């Protein structure tokens, strides 16, 4: 009923940031999001599937060695990495039930998944960052929202998995 939907929506509202893009809203205590995500996905309009990733093949490193050299190597690696494709998708689309298995795949499959490791030097924070990105900027009506997003873009790597991005 609409009444129950409204109650659910109200209960999920405090954690809405858990479901937003980092450019819009950053959760400072993400460990609390999981309980909300399980129950609030229907209200937030998310639909994802849960997947258990199989152990990687013992020869994954050999199958993916030199993937940049030939189409055959790339196809062999792609086929070996396919069972773990969910490891490379956003949690909103695909939830891995055994994420520790993903690490072995991520090391060898990054090239075919388009996630080749990168190293970056993050610039010093701009002086206006604290003012422009003050709490409350994340509402869609706030004119500072896009300016804040632009200011934070150069440090985006700081918020990514170290397997994908290393800050020097």
- Confidence band (pLDDT; 50, 70, 90) for 81? very high
Q: Tell me which of 69 and 58 has the higher pLDDT.
A: 58
Distance CA(28)–CA(5), nearest Å, equals 27
Res 75 pLDDT > 80: yes
pLDDT single digits (tens) 122-136: 667 778 877 777 766
Between 39 and 62, residue with greater pLDDT: 62
pLDDT at 79: 92
Which has more pLDDT, 36 or 143? 36
Task: Give mean pLDDT, residues 15-28.
Answer: 77
Instruction: Write out the two tokens for 19.
Output: 């479901």
CA distance linking residue 144 with residue 134, whole number of Å? 9
Give one word for 126, left, alpha or beta, with left for phi > 0 and alpha for psi -120 to 50. beta
* Average of per-residue pLDDT across 149-160: 66
Q: If you compute the radius of gyration of the chain from its CA atoms, what whole number of angstroms results?
A: 19
Helix 71-81 to helix 102-113 angle (10° resolution) is 140
pTM: 0.43
Average of per-residue pLDDT values in the chain: 75
């Amino acid at each position: 009923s609409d009444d129950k939907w409204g109650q659910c929506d109200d209960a999920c509202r405090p954690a809405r940031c858990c479901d937003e893009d980092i450019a819009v809203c950053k959760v400072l205590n993400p460990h609390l999001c999981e309980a909300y995500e399980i129950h609030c996905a229907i209200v937030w309009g998310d639909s994802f599937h849960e997947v258990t990733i199989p152990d990687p093949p013992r020869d994954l490193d050999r199958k993916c060695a030199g993937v940049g050299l030939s189409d055959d190597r790339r196809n062999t690696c792609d086929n070996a990495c396919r069972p773990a494709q969910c490891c490379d998708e956003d949690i909103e689309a695909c939830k891995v039930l055994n994420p520790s298995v993903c690490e072995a795949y991520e090391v060898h499959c990054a090239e075919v998944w388009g996630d080749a490791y990168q190293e970056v030097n993050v610039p010093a924070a701009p002086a206006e960052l604290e003012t422009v990105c003050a709490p409350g900027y994340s509402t869609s009506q706030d004119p500072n929202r896009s300016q804040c997003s632009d200011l934070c873009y150069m440090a985006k790597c700081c918020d990514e998995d170290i397997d994908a991005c290393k800050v020097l």
